[in-house]
């Protein structure tokens, strides 16, 4: 019976290890890319949160100024009405 090299268990094991090593390398590259993408997403979320926080503060200031303006307008209208009568 002729023994071929491709059926040698040592060679077969070496091939399987090489295949697994290549698969692991691909998985590691994919994981590295995912970690980078997640870091970019985190930074984007931080920027969105910062923008929303600034907008919230701006909205509050706008409402406060509007309220003060409405109060001053109502007081002026009341004074004008008192003065005319």
* Nearest residue to 73 via CA among 83, 61, 81: 81
Looking at residue 6, what is its pLDDT? 60
Contact present, 11 and 5 (Cβ < 8 Å)? yes
In the structure, what pLDDT confidence band is assigned to residue 1 with cuts at 50, 70 and 90?
very low
Single pTM value for the model: 0.51
The answer on pLDDT for 69 being more than 90 is yes
């Amino acid at each position: 019976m002729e023994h071929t090299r491709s059926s040698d268990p040592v060679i077969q094991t070496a091939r399987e290890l090489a295949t697994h090593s290549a698969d692991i390398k691909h998985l590691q590259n994919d994981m590295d890319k995912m970690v980078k993408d997640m870091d970019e997403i985190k930074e984007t979320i931080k920027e969105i949160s910062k923008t929303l926080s600034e907008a919230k503060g701006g909205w509050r200031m706008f409402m406060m100024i509007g309220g003060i303006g409405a109060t001053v307008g109502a007081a002026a209208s009341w004074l004008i009405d008192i003065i005319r009568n």
